[in-house]
Structure 1
Amino acid sequence: MRLLHASEWRMTDFISDDANPRYAILSHTWGLDEVTYRDWRKLSISDVKLKAGYSKIIACREQAVRDGLEWVWIDTCCIDKSSSAELTEAINSMFRWYTNAAVCYVVLSDVEATSDRAVLEERMAKSRWFTRGWTLQELLAPPPEKLIFYSGEWTRLGSKTDFVDIVSSITRINKQYLQGQDLRHASVAQKMSWAALRQTSRLEDVAYCLLGLFDINMPMIYGEGDRAFIRLQEAIMTSTPDDHSLFAWGPILDEADIASKVTNRSEVLRKEPPRPDSATCELELFGLLAASPKDFEHSGNIIVSREAARFYKRPDNPNVPTKVGRDAFRLDLPMWRKNMKALYHWKEPNIAQLRNLHYATLLCHFEGDPSSSSSVILPLLSNGGRTLSRPRTLCYRRGRGVQFSVKKTKTVSIAPEAQIRISNGDIIFRRRRCAPPIYATGSSISTGSWYDFDGAIGFLSSSSPQPRHGRMLTLNYKLSDKDDRGMAVVFHRLSTDDQLFIEVIPVNFSGKEIESGDMTWYSSTTLNQATPTFTRSMALPSDEWHVQRSPMPDVYLRSERVSIDGSDIFVDVLDLLVGFDLD
């Protein structure tokens, strides 16, 4: 730590905290023409005194002398920022330096002193000092009685204790933490919310200025941009894996409000498909981590649940979050509510697609909620392969906590929205539903096919720039878990106008061919040789087909051919509803 002498023109390096003398420390906002360490070393005394930033240095030194202190620390001139190693050490140590200071002078350069308390508080509320990222830790690190506010003219205004109410109102920081309570008692979400409305000059400093609040050390990589905040969250995740409030970011809807985004039976039963609507569709999907503290603006009252410690001490030992890709993580979460669907808004093509929706229970809740059993719910939508992605919104569930769902823990992989490349002739299933007791038994791609099928998002894709012709995909359905009969819906691409051709074949999945009345239930092992019972060449640009033949369940198929961005690339958008009475 390099300290500046309060009354002599010299600096001294102290190699350890134990060797440091008592010192004053300055908290301020940077302005133009600050005095840097290089200036102090290279310029003459007279030239240094001409710089605008010198006035706060001399004022700080003079105040330290009046307080009986021999040394001061000021970030503008006490750090050699040309040395990346020294800068990294300083940033990682700064919170401790502010904590250990004999006194911290906070100069509010844009606040004029007045004896009128109400006017003074009004002026303080508008001060730039409360909007900067670095000053957050400078506010919280010193003990309350050691942080002293000064006006721009260096008139003493009072201590942090004297202004605890107005500072809490300005910063949205709980008063107990301004009064010295250990910051380890605050949740990750609370600390992030304190920084949500603050700004830094450099993007990376959004993360670096928070290291002390979370007791995290990490290297400085200026130039990495918003990856710095991702690295910070990864470090927090490792150090406090049981604090799920790290994932509790975004606008929070009550469970009753979020129900509008969860489709009900009418969305499935209508022949007319759902259309994109920003009020009901999820427009964008994200990964587990936030992009910036701004995402925690609404999370200031979220605290860790008592269930968290018990959850991570269970005999089956849930995994701590594990990084499995650049922005993908695998973790154990209590899950509840299955067989839900939500509308997701594809932008290209412009459709509303039904996707599987899962509810994960985060081990946190609102502070002060009279219902101690309430919980924060993280909605997760299917996003290709075995990964899930989250929308921006959270759901708050009142009156029923995590105890009942902790036993239903599931390991999930959460990643940002997949960047899907669409090729000519691909197929997107807008809806693909079957009515109980009918259930889907799986899908298969024809041997030698050029297509891949992602059942999680209902996307049949080809790597070819042109549609490939022939058999592409087979979807299988059983009448019930007690009946081996069912059917196969087979999709072909015809060479004529790249037409979509559909077959529906009754199938006996036990492996034996069955004759029943005038219907043949073909063996699943000889399905490729079976004669289709029903066929349809879907008309362009849109068509619908309703197959009704008892005892086989009804099949409703609707197709729309959509051009991508007005180009020659097209996709067929399909609705497939099995076993629903649509008449």
Structure 2
Amino acid sequence: MWLLNSCTWEMKEFISHKQAPPYAILSHTWGDEEVSFREWQHEPLKFVGKKGGFKKINYCCQQAAADGLEWVWVDTSAELSEAINSMFQWYKNAALCYAYLFDVEDNIESKLAGSYWVTRGWTLQELIAPREVVFYSSSWQELGKRSKLSAHLAAVTRINEPFLTGQSLDEASIAQRMSWAANRKTSREEDVAYCLLGIFNVNMPMIYGEGPKAFRRLQELLVREYPEDHSLFAWGKIVEELTDGIYDTGRTWGLEPINIQSEPDRVCDELLGLLAESPKDFEHSGQIVRSPEAAVYFLFGSKMPSVSNLVGRAAHVELPKFNSGPNVAFHVKRPPIVRLWWTTRIVILCGRWDDSHTKFYYITIPITEDTGQSSRMYELIMSDTYTHVDFPGHALAKNMQKFMVSPLPLRPPQATDLVIRRNYVSYPLEQRYTTSGDVDFSPIKGRIRSVNSRRGRIATWSIFNEEGGYGFSISFIRLGYLDHSHEDPAQGRDCGRFRFGLHAFRISQESDPENTTFSIVNKQGNRRTTAATEELNPRVFRTFQDATDSDYLTGEDATYTHDALVSEDKWRFTIVGVADVYISLERIFLDGYDSDDDLDDNESHRFVDVLDFVVQEPRRDEVVKKNNDQEDERERHGAKREDSENSVGSTLRRRMRAMGLVRSQP
């Protein structure tokens, strides 16, 4: 490190900071005409003294000499690349730190909150690291010391006061340290990460030009250095219930239409990954600490694997999973609708103590899940549901699951898309879907996207109840090509009409299973029919996989169909003893056009079709009735077989007695 002599202005290099003599260090913010390291080395003092940044260096040297310190360190006159990785240590080893506030004249307690010094990223470590910090005004008048101003400094900077009065930074969680930098700025984007290296006691190469990747690299480094500190993931707004959470599951996933209007100021265009984008995301995490159950948790073999930068923005982690819900209303910009998502909660090994420090509340992250990919929202949930008493470390360890959490941009739908507004299949029913070759089915993205305005089958949903061994499939079929030209007034309502085709199936290992029929009650068909009951003869398969792979179920020759009349149609029916189903289809024009208002419009109006698909277990009385009917049928079938066997047996015995092969009973 290079030190400047406070009396002679001589610069001298010391190979190691351990070899350096006692020195003072200057904390300040950079402005115009700073004196560079090269200028101190090669330019005459007469030239250097004319620069605007020389004044504070002169003040610093004079004060150090007055305090009996022969040497000073100033970052403007240091070799920068070395300084970034060593700066925290240099501030920590300094005998005194002088903080120069160029915009404060007097009364630091009233002026500090507005000072430029408390808004900068680099001054964070310069406030925390030194043994003592003495504040000076723009005219170099002493304003006070950190040790005496700690309470006020904590209120202004939001740094927990113990860490301003000597408590080791090792006691602070990652989330706490990140929160201290949440409202600070740096001139270079990369310095948002680089200025925190000393705070976390880590080092990494400087790559100016990498932009936001620097902060991601820092987080990847922290995962490896602090595997037990899950607070790295505790960023976002902390709530007891999700702002857009819908806890009335009966209404949300019920067999009725929903009426939730999209709010323009609540629109969001992406789901998020596990890692934060910047320290700003930790603004609400200042009180988040590590769990007291961490030792027990890791004792049971749990671990937090490294987040590899080889997988882009995706993080592969193992975390405890508990429970599901709530539902989330996600406000979409185009079209202006509300999509509903079902969430899962994962527990991270950090949280917050209550006021009495007797109960510790875990942080839980609500995520969406689909085909191995998960994404999260900005809000975190912390409530009295998850405490270290109710969920000790060994219980969390037993619920570890692997997740791949990554951001999910939600791009506006194309005019050929089928937008999924609700997709819910109640437990214990299972679901699988299949598509045609040029169709992308992504429930988590909320759309079924076809490459072109295709006609024919788009996708098939298959529902199966393993306990009963029965199921059904519904295919979504376009009857005509999409046409957005509206040359025919009816095109706005009818082009690309839909047909829903339904098949029933059973899963059985028997070669000749019982002949079972399902009853379907069409409670709400198209506008020209009334409620009706029909019989469905199920096809038999050996596995659910066989059923969903069968051309019989994915073709257009369904045994029961319903033609949807767009721009709006609803179909609700019950397969007795199997499931209650609600399907709705609504055509929404992306430009706000209403085809019913202007039938003479010949312009092109692009639209998307919005789908609700809700499947619930049947009502209990229907299940009992179906089971009773099946049991009665089995008893009747068994009685007939027994009568037949008895009759055959009697005839055979008479013939054997007549032939002398058996002895008659006395």
Tell me if both proteins adopt one fold, taking TM over 0.5 as the criterion.
yes
Structure 1 CA distance, aligned partners of 2:321 and 2:578? 35
Q: Secondary structure at the residue paired with 1:397?
A: coil
Q: 2:372 aligns with which of 386, 397, 407?
A: 386
Q: Quick one: distance in 2 between partners of 1:357 and 1:380?
A: 5
CA contact (8 A) 2:461 2:473 kept: yes
- The equivalences for 1:365-514 within 5 A come to 365-370=351-356, 371-382=358-369, 384-398=370-384, 400-401=386-387, 402-403=391-392, 404-420=395-411, 422-435=413-426, 439-446=429-436, 449-457=437-445, 459-462=447-450, 464=451, 466-478=452-464, 480-496=465-481, 497-510=495-508, 514=515
> 2:342 pairs with 356, 364, 367, which one?
356
Over 3 Å counting, the alpha-carbon distance change for 1:311 and 1:259 in structure 2 is farther
Q: Out of 196-205 and 540-549, give the one that drifted further.
A: 540-549
Aligned match of 2:652: none
Distance 1:102 1:551 in 2: 81
1: CA distance between counterparts of 2:551 and 2:319? 42
- Matches of 2:255 and 2:540, distance apart in 1: 33
Identity in percent: 38
What is the one-letter code of the residue matched to 1:558?
S
Note if 1:128 corresponds to 2:126.
Answer: no
Q: Indicate whether 1:33 and 2:33 are aligned.
A: yes
CA-to-partner distance for each residue in 1:547-577, whole Å, 9 max, x for gaps?
A: 3453553332111233456776543221122
Q: For the residues of structure 1 that align with 2:341 and 2:566, how far apart are their CA atoms?
A: 26
Gaps spanning 5+ residues in structure 2: where?
Answer: 482-494, 519-534, 593-603, 620-666
In structure 1, distance between residues paired with 2:187 and 2:374:
34
Within the candidate set 132, 143, 149, 1:157 is matched to 143
CA-CA distance at 1:284 after TM superposition: 4.1
CA contact (8 A) 2:244 2:329 kept: no
* Conserved? CA contact 1:312–1:318, under 8 Å: no
Rounded Cα–Cα distance in structure 1 between residues aligned with 2:412 and 2:228: 37
Question: Partner of 1:547 in structure 2?
Answer: 573
Higher Rg of the two aligned structures: 2
Q: What is the CA distance between 1:161 and its match in structure 2?
A: 1.2
Q: Is the contact made by 2:334 and 2:412 (CA closer than 8 Å) also made in structure 1?
A: no
Cα distance in structure 2, aligned partners of 1:293 and 1:45: 41
What do residues 448-474 of structure 1 show as CA deviations (whole Å, max 9, x unaligned)? x32132344553223x2x222222322
Q: Is the alpha carbon distance of 1:138 and 1:423 closer, same or farther for their aligned partners in structure 2, counting shifts above 3 Å?
A: same
Shift of 1:391: 1.0
SS at match of 2:311: coil
CA, structure 1 residues 26+529, in 2 after alignment: closer, same or farther (shift >3 Å)?
closer
Q: Counterparts of 1:99-114 in structure 2 under 5 Å?
A: 99-113=92-106
Give distance in 2, aligned partners of 1:112 and 1:552.
79
Structure 1 segments unaligned to the other structure (5+ residues): 80-86, 114-118
Partner of residue 533, structure 1: 559
Q: CA RMSD in A?
A: 2.8
Give the 3 Å change call, closer, same or farther, for CA 541–580 of structure 1 in structure 2: farther
Q: Deviations over 1:353-381 (max 9, x none)?
A: 22220111111121454452411111112
Q: 2:156 aligns with which of 157, 160, 170?
A: 170
Whole-angstrom CA distance in 1 between matches of 2:299 and 2:305:
11
State the 1:100 CA deviation.
1.0
The code of the aligned residue for 2:96 comes to: V
Q: 1:327 to 1:161 in 2, by over 3 A?
A: same
How many residues were matched structurally? 560
Q: 1:42 to 1:513 in 2, by over 3 A?
A: farther
**Alignment partners' CA distance in 2, 1:259 and 1:574:** 21
What amino acid does structure 1 have at the position aligned with 2:507? F
Which piece of structure 1 moves more, 320-329 or 52-61? Answer: 320-329
**Contact 2:415 2:606 (8 Å CA) reproduced:** yes
Instruction: Name the residue aligned to 1:116.
Output: none
TM-score by structure 1 length?
A: 0.88
What SS class does the counterpart of residue 271 from structure 1 fall into? coil
- 1:212 and 1:390 mapped to 2: Cα distance? 30
CA distance in 1, matches of 2:11, 2:251: 75
493 and 219 in structure 1: CA distance in 2 versus 1, 3 angstrom threshold: same
Q: Which amino acid aligns with 1:377?
A: T
Counterpart contact for 1:506–1:552, Cα < 8 Å: no
What is the TM-score normalised by the length of structure 2? 0.78
- Report the secondary structure of 1:536's partner residue: strand
- Residue identity in the other structure for 1:504: L
Contact 1:260 1:280 in 2 (8 A): no
Name the counterpart of 1:332: 318
Q: Render the CA deviation track for 1:90-113: whole Å, top value 9, x for unaligned.
A: 100000011111221112222234
Instruction: Tell me, in whole angstroms, the C-alpha distance in 2 between the residues paired with 1:280 and 1:341.
Output: 16
CA distance in 1, matches of 2:56, 2:86: 23
The residue number in structure 2 matching 1:521 is: 538
